[in-house]
Chains A and B, each alone.
Chain A
Amino acid sequence: MTAVRQAADPPDPPQDDDLVERFRAGDESALREAYDRYGRAVFHLATSVLANRSDAEDVTQATFVAAWLGRDTFDPARGSLLGWLLGIGRRKVVDRVRACARENRVVESVRQLPEPATAGPDPDTVVDRLVVADELARLPQEQRRMLELAFYEDLTHQQIAAATGVPLGTVKSHIRRGMASLKRRWEVDGAAPGPRPAGLPGAR
Protein backbone atom coordinates (compact mmCIF):
# COMPACT_ATOMS: atom_id res chain seq x y z
CA MET A 1 0.00 0.00 0.00
CA THR A 2 2.64 2.44 1.07
CA ALA A 3 4.90 1.29 -1.71
CA VAL A 4 2.16 1.82 -4.24
CA ARG A 5 1.55 5.31 -3.04
CA GLN A 6 5.20 6.17 -3.11
CA ALA A 7 5.62 4.75 -6.54
CA ALA A 8 2.70 6.69 -7.95
CA ASP A 9 3.40 9.85 -9.85
CA PRO A 10 2.25 13.11 -8.35
CA PRO A 11 -1.48 12.56 -8.52
CA ASP A 12 -3.47 14.29 -11.14
CA PRO A 13 -6.02 15.49 -10.25
CA PRO A 14 -4.76 16.16 -6.76
CA GLN A 15 -5.54 13.53 -4.19
CA ASP A 16 -6.77 14.80 -0.90
CA ASP A 17 -3.91 13.03 0.93
CA ASP A 18 -5.51 10.20 2.87
CA LEU A 19 -8.84 11.95 3.16
CA VAL A 20 -10.28 10.17 0.16
CA GLU A 21 -9.36 6.75 1.43
CA ARG A 22 -10.78 7.40 4.85
CA PHE A 23 -13.87 8.90 3.31
CA ARG A 24 -14.48 5.88 1.15
CA ALA A 25 -13.77 3.56 4.05
CA GLY A 26 -16.63 5.17 5.98
CA ASP A 27 -14.56 7.01 8.55
CA GLU A 28 -16.90 9.71 9.79
CA SER A 29 -14.10 12.05 10.76
CA ALA A 30 -13.26 12.15 7.05
CA LEU A 31 -16.76 13.40 6.33
CA ARG A 32 -16.27 16.24 8.76
CA GLU A 33 -12.90 17.02 7.20
CA ALA A 34 -14.37 17.00 3.72
CA TYR A 35 -17.09 19.31 4.96
CA ASP A 36 -14.56 21.64 6.56
CA ARG A 37 -12.57 21.79 3.35
CA TYR A 38 -15.32 21.88 0.79
CA GLY A 39 -18.52 22.86 2.60
CA ARG A 40 -17.87 26.49 1.75
CA ALA A 41 -17.54 25.73 -1.95
CA VAL A 42 -20.72 23.64 -2.07
CA PHE A 43 -22.60 26.25 -0.08
CA HIS A 44 -21.32 28.97 -2.38
CA LEU A 45 -22.52 27.01 -5.41
CA ALA A 46 -25.96 26.65 -3.85
CA THR A 47 -26.30 30.24 -2.69
CA SER A 48 -25.03 31.62 -5.98
CA VAL A 49 -27.64 29.84 -8.04
CA LEU A 50 -30.66 29.58 -5.76
CA ALA A 51 -32.54 32.68 -4.73
CA ASN A 52 -34.02 31.13 -1.64
CA ARG A 53 -31.50 30.75 1.14
CA SER A 54 -33.24 27.86 2.83
CA ASP A 55 -33.21 26.02 -0.51
CA ALA A 56 -29.48 26.62 -0.69
CA GLU A 57 -28.97 25.32 2.81
CA ASP A 58 -31.05 22.24 2.07
CA VAL A 59 -29.10 21.55 -1.10
CA THR A 60 -25.80 21.87 0.75
CA GLN A 61 -26.95 19.47 3.40
CA ALA A 62 -28.39 17.04 0.87
CA THR A 63 -25.16 17.11 -1.13
CA PHE A 64 -23.03 15.94 1.75
CA VAL A 65 -25.58 13.37 2.85
CA ALA A 66 -25.78 11.98 -0.68
CA ALA A 67 -22.00 11.98 -0.99
CA TRP A 68 -21.63 10.09 2.25
CA LEU A 69 -24.28 7.54 1.45
CA GLY A 70 -22.90 7.14 -2.07
CA ARG A 71 -19.23 7.20 -1.10
CA ASP A 72 -18.72 3.79 -2.72
CA THR A 73 -19.39 5.35 -6.09
CA PHE A 74 -16.66 7.94 -5.83
CA ASP A 75 -13.76 7.03 -8.08
CA PRO A 76 -10.68 9.12 -7.32
CA ALA A 77 -9.20 8.15 -10.68
CA ARG A 78 -11.90 10.16 -12.41
CA GLY A 79 -11.64 13.39 -10.51
CA SER A 80 -11.05 15.04 -7.18
CA LEU A 81 -13.28 14.83 -4.15
CA LEU A 82 -14.14 18.50 -4.58
CA GLY A 83 -15.05 17.97 -8.22
CA TRP A 84 -17.26 15.05 -7.26
CA LEU A 85 -18.99 16.97 -4.47
CA LEU A 86 -19.60 19.92 -6.75
CA GLY A 87 -21.00 17.55 -9.36
CA ILE A 88 -23.53 16.24 -6.84
CA GLY A 89 -24.30 19.74 -5.64
CA ARG A 90 -24.73 20.96 -9.18
CA ARG A 91 -27.31 18.28 -9.98
CA LYS A 92 -29.20 19.06 -6.79
CA VAL A 93 -29.16 22.77 -7.52
CA VAL A 94 -30.48 22.16 -11.02
CA ASP A 95 -33.18 19.84 -9.65
CA ARG A 96 -34.22 22.50 -7.21
CA VAL A 97 -34.37 25.16 -9.88
CA ARG A 98 -36.61 22.89 -11.94
CA ALA A 99 -38.82 22.12 -8.97
CA CYS A 100 -39.21 25.83 -8.34
CA ALA A 101 -40.14 26.35 -11.95
CA ARG A 102 -42.82 23.66 -11.66
CA GLU A 103 -44.18 25.23 -8.50
CA ASN A 104 -44.29 28.56 -10.21
CA ARG A 105 -46.37 27.09 -12.99
CA VAL A 106 -48.79 25.86 -10.36
CA VAL A 107 -48.96 29.25 -8.87
CA GLU A 108 -49.79 30.81 -12.13
CA SER A 109 -52.96 28.78 -11.99
CA VAL A 110 -53.60 30.00 -8.46
CA ARG A 111 -52.48 33.56 -8.89
CA GLN A 112 -50.44 35.37 -11.46
CA LEU A 113 -47.31 35.99 -9.48
CA PRO A 114 -44.38 33.85 -10.52
CA GLU A 115 -41.30 34.07 -8.34
CA PRO A 116 -37.80 34.01 -9.75
CA ALA A 117 -36.22 30.64 -9.03
CA THR A 118 -32.64 31.51 -9.72
CA ALA A 119 -30.58 34.34 -8.39
CA GLY A 120 -27.42 34.39 -10.34
CA PRO A 121 -24.97 32.74 -12.63
CA ASP A 122 -25.41 29.35 -14.15
CA PRO A 123 -24.19 26.48 -11.97
CA ASP A 124 -21.59 25.22 -14.45
CA THR A 125 -19.72 28.50 -14.37
CA VAL A 126 -19.75 28.55 -10.59
CA VAL A 127 -18.42 24.99 -10.44
CA ASP A 128 -15.65 25.78 -12.92
CA ARG A 129 -14.61 28.83 -10.98
CA LEU A 130 -14.49 26.88 -7.71
CA VAL A 131 -12.47 24.09 -9.27
CA VAL A 132 -9.95 26.49 -10.77
CA ALA A 133 -9.76 28.40 -7.48
CA ASP A 134 -9.02 25.18 -5.66
CA GLU A 135 -6.25 24.31 -8.10
CA LEU A 136 -4.81 27.79 -7.87
CA ALA A 137 -4.64 27.41 -4.10
CA ARG A 138 -2.78 24.12 -4.51
CA LEU A 139 -0.10 25.43 -6.84
CA PRO A 140 3.44 25.93 -5.58
CA GLN A 141 3.56 29.29 -3.89
CA GLU A 142 5.60 31.11 -6.54
CA GLN A 143 3.41 29.90 -9.39
CA ARG A 144 0.37 31.00 -7.50
CA ARG A 145 1.83 34.40 -6.73
CA MET A 146 2.71 35.08 -10.35
CA LEU A 147 -0.69 33.97 -11.60
CA GLU A 148 -2.52 36.05 -9.02
CA LEU A 149 -0.60 39.12 -10.12
CA ALA A 150 -1.50 38.36 -13.72
CA PHE A 151 -5.17 37.53 -13.00
CA TYR A 152 -6.08 39.98 -10.29
CA GLU A 153 -3.76 42.90 -10.96
CA ASP A 154 -3.74 42.41 -14.69
CA LEU A 155 0.03 42.84 -14.80
CA THR A 156 2.11 41.86 -17.81
CA HIS A 157 4.88 39.38 -17.27
CA GLN A 158 7.37 42.21 -17.56
CA GLN A 159 5.56 44.15 -14.88
CA ILE A 160 5.40 41.10 -12.64
CA ALA A 161 9.15 40.63 -13.01
CA ALA A 162 9.70 44.27 -12.13
CA ALA A 163 7.32 44.16 -9.18
CA THR A 164 8.68 40.97 -7.67
CA GLY A 165 12.34 41.08 -8.67
CA VAL A 166 11.96 37.63 -10.18
CA PRO A 167 13.73 37.26 -13.55
CA LEU A 168 11.38 37.50 -16.51
CA GLY A 169 12.22 34.02 -17.73
CA THR A 170 11.32 32.58 -14.34
CA VAL A 171 8.05 34.51 -14.26
CA LYS A 172 7.10 33.12 -17.65
CA SER A 173 8.03 29.61 -16.63
CA HIS A 174 5.92 29.81 -13.45
CA ILE A 175 2.98 31.16 -15.35
CA ARG A 176 3.23 28.58 -18.09
CA ARG A 177 3.34 25.71 -15.59
CA GLY A 178 0.63 27.17 -13.44
CA MET A 179 -1.64 27.64 -16.44
CA ALA A 180 -1.03 24.06 -17.51
CA SER A 181 -2.10 22.83 -14.07
CA LEU A 182 -5.22 24.98 -14.03
CA LYS A 183 -6.21 23.81 -17.48
CA ARG A 184 -5.68 20.15 -16.64
CA ARG A 185 -7.69 20.43 -13.47
CA TRP A 186 -10.52 22.22 -15.23
CA GLU A 187 -10.61 19.54 -17.89
CA VAL A 188 -10.89 16.84 -15.25
CA ASP A 189 -13.19 18.46 -12.69
CA GLY A 190 -14.93 21.31 -14.46
CA ALA A 191 -18.60 21.24 -15.34
CA ALA A 192 -18.98 23.59 -18.26
CA PRO A 193 -18.82 22.32 -21.78
CA GLY A 194 -16.11 24.40 -23.33
CA PRO A 195 -13.57 24.16 -26.05
CA ARG A 196 -11.99 20.86 -25.17
CA PRO A 197 -9.77 19.17 -27.69
CA ALA A 198 -11.12 15.73 -28.44
CA GLY A 199 -9.34 12.78 -26.92
CA LEU A 200 -8.38 14.43 -23.67
CA PRO A 201 -9.39 12.44 -20.64
CA GLY A 202 -11.38 15.30 -19.19
CA ALA A 203 -13.52 15.79 -22.25
CA ARG A 204 -17.11 14.81 -21.60
Chain B
Amino acid sequence: MQHLDHDRLVFLALGESVADTGEADHLDTCAHCRDEVETFRHVAGLGAATRTVRDLPDPPEHIWQGIVAEIRAVAEPPAQAETRTKAETRTKAGAGAETRTGKQTETRVEAGAGARVGVPARPGRVAVGGRRRWPRWAVTTGTAAAAAVLGVLGTLAVVETERSTPAPGRVVASGPLAAYGATPSQARGEARVFDDGRLHLHVTDLPAVPGYYEVWLINPNTGAMFSVGVLGDGPDVLLPLPPRADVRAYSVVDISAEQFDNEPAHSGDSLVRGTLTG
Protein backbone atom coordinates (compact mmCIF):
# COMPACT_ATOMS: atom_id res chain seq x y z
CA MET B 1 0.00 0.00 0.00
CA GLN B 2 1.30 3.43 -0.91
CA HIS B 3 1.33 5.57 2.25
CA LEU B 4 0.70 9.29 2.25
CA ASP B 5 3.68 11.57 1.87
CA HIS B 6 5.33 12.80 5.00
CA ASP B 7 4.55 16.44 4.29
CA ARG B 8 0.92 15.62 3.59
CA LEU B 9 0.71 13.91 6.99
CA VAL B 10 2.17 16.97 8.67
CA PHE B 11 -0.04 19.47 6.89
CA LEU B 12 -3.18 17.41 7.44
CA ALA B 13 -2.32 17.16 11.12
CA LEU B 14 -1.75 20.91 11.39
CA GLY B 15 -5.05 21.58 9.67
CA GLU B 16 -3.14 23.34 6.94
CA SER B 17 -4.59 21.08 4.28
CA VAL B 18 -7.81 19.21 3.88
CA ALA B 19 -7.62 15.60 2.80
CA ASP B 20 -8.76 15.08 -0.78
CA THR B 21 -10.94 12.11 -1.61
CA GLY B 22 -8.06 9.78 -2.33
CA GLU B 23 -6.29 10.72 0.89
CA ALA B 24 -9.47 10.40 2.92
CA ASP B 25 -10.04 6.94 1.50
CA HIS B 26 -6.50 5.96 2.33
CA LEU B 27 -6.75 7.26 5.89
CA ASP B 28 -9.94 5.27 6.34
CA THR B 29 -8.12 2.07 5.66
CA CYS B 30 -4.54 2.72 6.81
CA ALA B 31 -3.96 2.65 10.55
CA HIS B 32 -0.32 3.59 10.08
CA CYS B 33 -1.06 6.87 8.37
CA ARG B 34 -3.90 7.61 10.77
CA ASP B 35 -1.51 7.11 13.69
CA GLU B 36 1.04 9.35 12.05
CA VAL B 37 -1.47 12.15 11.59
CA GLU B 38 -2.65 11.69 15.14
CA THR B 39 0.91 11.78 16.45
CA PHE B 40 1.75 14.94 14.54
CA ARG B 41 -1.44 16.50 15.81
CA HIS B 42 -0.52 15.60 19.38
CA VAL B 43 3.00 16.97 18.93
CA ALA B 44 1.59 20.18 17.49
CA GLY B 45 -0.60 20.49 20.57
CA LEU B 46 2.45 20.06 22.77
CA GLY B 47 4.23 22.60 20.60
CA ALA B 48 1.51 25.16 21.18
CA ALA B 49 1.63 24.41 24.91
CA THR B 50 5.38 25.03 25.06
CA ARG B 51 4.52 28.69 25.26
CA THR B 52 3.83 28.14 28.95
CA VAL B 53 7.31 26.76 29.63
CA ARG B 54 9.43 29.13 27.61
CA ASP B 55 10.70 31.34 30.41
CA LEU B 56 10.78 29.22 33.48
CA PRO B 57 12.00 30.70 36.74
CA ASP B 58 15.23 29.50 38.27
CA PRO B 59 14.83 27.15 41.19
CA PRO B 60 15.83 28.71 44.51
CA GLU B 61 19.55 28.59 45.08
CA HIS B 62 19.25 26.58 48.27
CA ILE B 63 18.22 23.58 46.18
CA TRP B 64 21.62 23.53 44.57
CA GLN B 65 23.25 23.87 47.97
CA GLY B 66 21.22 20.94 49.18
CA ILE B 67 22.31 18.87 46.18
CA VAL B 68 25.97 19.61 46.87
CA ALA B 69 25.56 18.86 50.54
CA GLU B 70 23.91 15.51 49.92
CA ILE B 71 26.49 14.50 47.39
CA ARG B 72 29.34 15.47 49.70
CA ALA B 73 27.73 13.54 52.50
CA VAL B 74 27.54 10.42 50.37
CA ALA B 75 31.00 10.79 48.89
CA GLU B 76 32.88 11.17 52.13
CA PRO B 77 34.04 8.26 54.22
CA PRO B 78 32.28 8.50 57.59
CA ALA B 79 35.46 8.83 59.64
CA GLN B 80 36.66 11.76 57.63
CA ALA B 81 33.28 13.38 57.70
CA GLU B 82 33.17 13.01 61.42
CA THR B 83 36.47 14.76 61.87
CA ARG B 84 35.34 17.56 59.68
CA THR B 85 32.14 17.81 61.59
CA LYS B 86 33.94 18.50 64.79
CA ALA B 87 36.26 21.00 63.28
CA GLU B 88 33.52 22.84 61.52
CA THR B 89 30.99 22.94 64.26
CA ARG B 90 33.70 24.40 66.45
CA THR B 91 34.60 26.94 63.85
CA LYS B 92 31.02 27.88 63.36
CA ALA B 93 30.44 28.18 67.06
CA GLY B 94 33.41 30.49 67.25
CA ALA B 95 32.68 32.59 64.22
CA GLY B 96 28.97 32.22 64.48
CA ALA B 97 28.14 35.88 64.33
CA GLU B 98 29.28 36.10 60.76
CA THR B 99 27.93 32.91 59.36
CA ARG B 100 24.33 33.99 59.46
CA THR B 101 24.81 37.22 57.63
CA GLY B 102 23.87 37.77 54.05
CA LYS B 103 27.31 36.80 52.84
CA GLN B 104 26.53 33.24 53.61
CA THR B 105 24.74 32.54 50.39
CA GLU B 106 27.41 33.86 48.09
CA THR B 107 30.11 32.00 49.90
CA ARG B 108 28.22 28.79 49.58
CA VAL B 109 27.51 29.28 45.93
CA GLU B 110 31.16 29.72 45.19
CA ALA B 111 31.97 26.73 47.25
CA GLY B 112 29.53 24.76 45.19
CA ALA B 113 31.45 25.56 42.06
CA GLY B 114 34.19 23.20 43.08
CA ALA B 115 35.91 24.37 46.19
CA ARG B 116 35.34 22.42 49.33
CA VAL B 117 31.86 22.84 50.58
CA GLY B 118 31.59 23.25 54.29
CA VAL B 119 29.00 20.64 54.80
CA PRO B 120 29.72 17.83 57.17
CA ALA B 121 28.18 14.49 56.54
CA ARG B 122 26.20 13.77 59.61
CA PRO B 123 25.03 16.73 61.59
CA GLY B 124 25.64 18.42 58.27
CA ARG B 125 22.47 17.06 56.89
CA VAL B 126 20.71 18.70 59.78
CA ALA B 127 22.59 21.91 59.48
CA VAL B 128 22.01 22.13 55.78
CA GLY B 129 18.41 21.13 56.04
CA GLY B 130 17.95 23.84 58.59
CA ARG B 131 19.89 26.46 56.77
CA ARG B 132 18.32 26.01 53.42
CA ARG B 133 14.94 26.16 54.98
CA TRP B 134 15.51 29.22 57.04
CA PRO B 135 13.51 32.07 55.69
CA ARG B 136 15.32 35.22 54.76
CA TRP B 137 14.18 37.12 57.81
CA ALA B 138 15.71 34.48 60.01
CA VAL B 139 19.00 34.88 58.22
CA THR B 140 19.09 38.60 58.56
CA THR B 141 17.79 39.11 62.05
CA GLY B 142 19.59 38.85 65.32
CA THR B 143 23.06 37.72 64.53
CA ALA B 144 23.88 37.76 68.21
CA ALA B 145 21.04 35.38 68.94
CA ALA B 146 22.09 33.27 66.00
CA ALA B 147 25.61 33.17 67.31
CA ALA B 148 24.34 32.07 70.66
CA VAL B 149 22.23 29.35 69.12
CA LEU B 150 25.07 28.21 66.95
CA GLY B 151 27.32 28.14 69.94
CA VAL B 152 24.95 25.87 71.73
CA LEU B 153 24.30 23.71 68.72
CA GLY B 154 27.99 23.54 68.00
CA THR B 155 28.75 22.43 71.49
CA LEU B 156 25.98 19.87 71.44
CA ALA B 157 27.17 18.52 68.14
CA VAL B 158 30.68 18.12 69.42
CA VAL B 159 29.63 16.53 72.66
CA GLU B 160 27.29 14.28 70.77
CA THR B 161 29.92 13.33 68.27
CA GLU B 162 32.47 12.49 70.89
CA ARG B 163 30.06 10.51 72.95
CA SER B 164 28.83 8.39 70.12
CA THR B 165 32.25 7.36 68.85
CA PRO B 166 33.46 5.18 67.36
CA ALA B 167 30.40 4.41 65.24
CA PRO B 168 28.34 7.50 64.50
CA GLY B 169 24.67 6.92 63.92
CA ARG B 170 23.89 5.93 60.40
CA VAL B 171 20.65 7.28 59.00
CA VAL B 172 18.35 4.36 58.28
CA ALA B 173 15.28 6.37 57.33
CA SER B 174 14.52 10.00 56.74
CA GLY B 175 11.99 12.30 55.27
CA PRO B 176 11.02 15.94 54.99
CA LEU B 177 8.30 17.36 57.18
CA ALA B 178 5.85 19.79 55.65
CA ALA B 179 3.11 21.99 56.91
CA TYR B 180 -0.12 20.16 57.35
CA GLY B 181 -3.68 21.31 57.06
CA ALA B 182 -4.12 24.90 58.14
CA THR B 183 -0.53 25.25 59.32
CA PRO B 184 1.30 28.12 57.58
CA SER B 185 3.35 26.63 54.78
CA GLN B 186 6.69 27.89 56.06
CA ALA B 187 6.53 25.39 58.90
CA ARG B 188 8.73 22.52 57.85
CA GLY B 189 11.52 20.29 58.90
CA GLU B 190 13.33 17.07 58.54
CA ALA B 191 13.12 13.75 60.35
CA ARG B 192 15.86 11.16 60.50
CA VAL B 193 16.06 7.83 62.24
CA PHE B 194 19.52 6.64 63.20
CA ASP B 195 20.49 3.01 63.36
CA ASP B 196 20.86 3.35 67.12
CA GLY B 197 17.11 3.83 67.35
CA ARG B 198 16.94 7.55 67.85
CA LEU B 199 14.72 9.92 65.95
CA HIS B 200 16.16 13.31 65.15
CA LEU B 201 13.80 16.13 64.24
CA HIS B 202 14.69 19.53 62.96
CA VAL B 203 11.64 21.73 62.64
CA THR B 204 11.37 25.44 61.98
CA ASP B 205 8.55 27.95 61.95
CA LEU B 206 5.99 25.93 63.81
CA PRO B 207 3.06 28.14 64.72
CA ALA B 208 2.89 29.12 68.37
CA VAL B 209 0.45 26.98 70.33
CA PRO B 210 -1.04 27.41 73.77
CA GLY B 211 0.09 23.95 74.87
CA TYR B 212 3.04 21.96 73.55
CA TYR B 213 4.21 20.01 70.53
CA GLU B 214 4.03 16.25 70.58
CA VAL B 215 5.76 13.89 68.19
CA TRP B 216 3.97 10.81 66.85
CA LEU B 217 4.71 7.90 64.60
CA ILE B 218 1.73 6.70 62.64
CA ASN B 219 1.15 3.54 60.67
CA PRO B 220 -0.48 4.82 57.49
CA ASN B 221 -2.08 1.50 56.72
CA THR B 222 -3.82 0.96 60.01
CA GLY B 223 -3.99 4.45 61.46
CA ALA B 224 -2.34 3.13 64.61
CA MET B 225 0.01 5.54 66.29
CA PHE B 226 2.17 6.05 69.29
CA SER B 227 3.71 9.07 70.93
CA VAL B 228 7.47 9.40 70.73
CA GLY B 229 7.91 12.43 72.93
CA VAL B 230 7.64 16.17 72.90
CA LEU B 231 9.38 18.89 70.97
CA GLY B 232 10.65 21.78 73.07
CA ASP B 233 11.18 25.38 72.08
CA GLY B 234 14.29 24.71 69.99
CA PRO B 235 14.26 23.56 66.39
CA ASP B 236 16.03 20.27 67.13
CA VAL B 237 15.19 17.29 69.25
CA LEU B 238 16.65 13.82 69.52
CA LEU B 239 14.16 11.27 70.80
CA PRO B 240 14.80 7.63 71.61
CA LEU B 241 12.33 5.34 69.88
CA PRO B 242 10.96 2.35 71.72
CA PRO B 243 13.03 -0.78 71.18
CA ARG B 244 11.98 -2.62 68.02
CA ALA B 245 9.90 0.33 66.83
CA ASP B 246 9.15 -0.43 63.20
CA VAL B 247 9.58 2.79 61.27
CA ARG B 248 8.81 0.99 58.04
CA ALA B 249 5.31 0.31 59.27
CA TYR B 250 5.02 3.45 61.38
CA SER B 251 6.40 5.57 58.61
CA VAL B 252 4.54 8.82 59.12
CA VAL B 253 6.06 11.38 61.45
CA ASP B 254 3.49 13.74 62.82
CA ILE B 255 3.87 16.71 65.14
CA SER B 256 0.69 17.78 66.83
CA ALA B 257 -0.40 20.70 68.95
CA GLU B 258 -1.46 19.37 72.34
CA GLN B 259 -3.12 21.05 75.29
CA PHE B 260 -2.18 20.45 78.91
CA ASP B 261 -5.41 18.55 79.36
CA ASN B 262 -4.32 15.15 80.69
CA GLU B 263 -5.63 13.65 77.50
CA PRO B 264 -2.93 11.33 76.23
CA ALA B 265 -4.44 10.75 72.78
CA HIS B 266 -3.58 12.73 69.67
CA SER B 267 -5.44 16.02 69.68
CA GLY B 268 -6.28 15.69 66.00
CA ASP B 269 -4.47 18.95 65.38
CA SER B 270 -1.51 17.97 63.20
CA LEU B 271 0.92 20.79 62.41
CA VAL B 272 3.51 19.12 60.20
CA ARG B 273 3.86 15.70 58.71
CA GLY B 274 6.25 13.67 56.68
CA THR B 275 6.94 10.15 55.56
CA LEU B 276 10.11 8.30 56.48
CA THR B 277 11.76 6.44 53.70
CA GLY B 278 15.04 4.70 53.81
Are B114 and A132 touching (Cβ within 8 A)? no
Are A179 and B64 touching (Cβ within 8 A)? no
The segment out of B51-59, B98-106, B139-147 that lies at the interface is B51-59
Residue numbers in B under 8 Å from A57 (CB-CB): 59-60, 62-63
Known contacts: A55-B178, A182-B47. The answer to whether A35 contacts B6 by CB under 8 A is no
Expressed in whole angstroms, the Cα–Cα distance for A157 and B113 within the complex equals 47
Interface residues of B in 115-151 (CB under 8 A from A): 133
Tally chain B residues at the interface, Cβ within 8 Å. Answer: 63
Expressed in whole angstroms, the Cα–Cα distance for A25 and B113 within the complex equals 17
Residue numbers in B under 8 Å from A99 (CB-CB): 275, 277
Are B56 and A103 touching (Cβ within 8 A)? no
Binding site for B on A (CB under 8 A): 28-29, 31-32, 35, 39-44, 52-55, 57-58, 60-61, 64-65, 68-69, 99, 102-103, 105-107, 109-111, 113, 115, 128-130, 132-133, 136, 147, 150-152, 156-157, 172, 175-176, 179-180, 182-183, 186-187, 194-197
Chain A CB within 8 A of B229 CB: no
Per CB-CB distance, the 8 closest pairs between chain A and chain B, nearest first, are A109-B223, A133-B50, A43-B59, A40-B56, A195-B38, A132-B46, A111-B268, A151-B48
Residue numbers in A under 8 Å from B42 (CB-CB): 194-195
Interface residues of B in 19-54 (CB under 8 A from A): 32, 35-36, 38-40, 42-44, 46-54
Residue numbers in A under 8 Å from B252 (CB-CB): 102-103, 106
Expressed in whole angstroms, the Cα–Cα distance for A91 and B13 within the complex equals 31
The segment out of B65-73, B78-86, B163-171, B232-240 that lies at the interface is B65-73
Q: What residue in chain A is nearest B266 (Cβ atoms)?
A: A110
CB distance from B117 to the nearest CB of A (A): 10
Chain A CB within 8 A of B212 CB: no
Are B71 and A65 touching (Cβ within 8 A)? yes
CB distance from B190 to the nearest CB of A (A): 9
Residue numbers in A under 8 Å from B44 (CB-CB): 150-151, 179
Q: How many A-B residue pairs have CB under 8 A?
A: 163
Are A128 and B114 touching (Cβ within 8 A)? no
Are A103 and B220 touching (Cβ within 8 A)? yes
Known: A28-B114, A65-B71, A129-B46. 6 other contacts (CB 8 A): A39-B59, A68-B71, A102-B220, A105-B220, A110-B270, A182-B43
Are B181 and A39 touching (Cβ within 8 A)? no
Expressed in whole angstroms, the Cα–Cα distance for A111 and B273 within the complex equals 14
Chain A CB within 8 A of B74 CB: yes
Contact of B39 (CB < 8 Å), options: A109, A132, A195? A195
Are B273 and A110 touching (Cβ within 8 A)? no
Are A64 and B67 touching (Cβ within 8 A)? yes
Residue numbers in B under 8 Å from A175 (CB-CB): 10, 14
Chain A CB within 8 A of B194 CB: no
Q: What residue in chain B is nearest A102 (Cβ atoms)?
A: B220
Q: What residue in chain A is nearest B42 (Cβ atoms)?
A: A194
Expressed in whole angstroms, the Cα–Cα distance for A133 and B220 within the complex equals 39
Expressed in whole angstroms, the Cα–Cα distance for A115 and B270 within the complex equals 12
Chain A CB within 8 A of B191 CB: no
Chain A CB within 8 A of B218 CB: yes
Are A133 and B39 touching (Cβ within 8 A)? no
Q: In terms of DSSP, what is the predominant structure of the interface of chain A?
A: helix
Known contacts: A43-B63, A103-B252. The answer to whether A58 contacts B176 by CB under 8 A is yes
Expressed in whole angstroms, the Cα–Cα distance for A156 and B59 within the complex equals 37
Expressed in whole angstroms, the Cα–Cα distance for A106 and B53 within the complex equals 36
Residue numbers in A under 8 Å from B263 (CB-CB): none
Q: What residue in chain A is nearest B57 (Cβ atoms)?
A: A40
CB distance from B84 to the nearest CB of A (A): 18
Chain A CB within 8 A of B7 CB: yes
Expressed in whole angstroms, the Cα–Cα distance for A41 and B63 within the complex equals 14
Are B178 and A176 touching (Cβ within 8 A)? no
Chain A CB within 8 A of B94 CB: no
Are A132 and B50 touching (Cβ within 8 A)? yes
Q: What residue in chain B is nearest A50 (Cβ atoms)?
A: B178
Q: What residue in chain A is nearest B5 (Cβ atoms)?
A: A176
Are B50 and A53 touching (Cβ within 8 A)? no
Residue numbers in A under 8 Å from B13 (CB-CB): 179
Contact of B6 (CB < 8 Å), options: A61, A64, A102, A176? A176
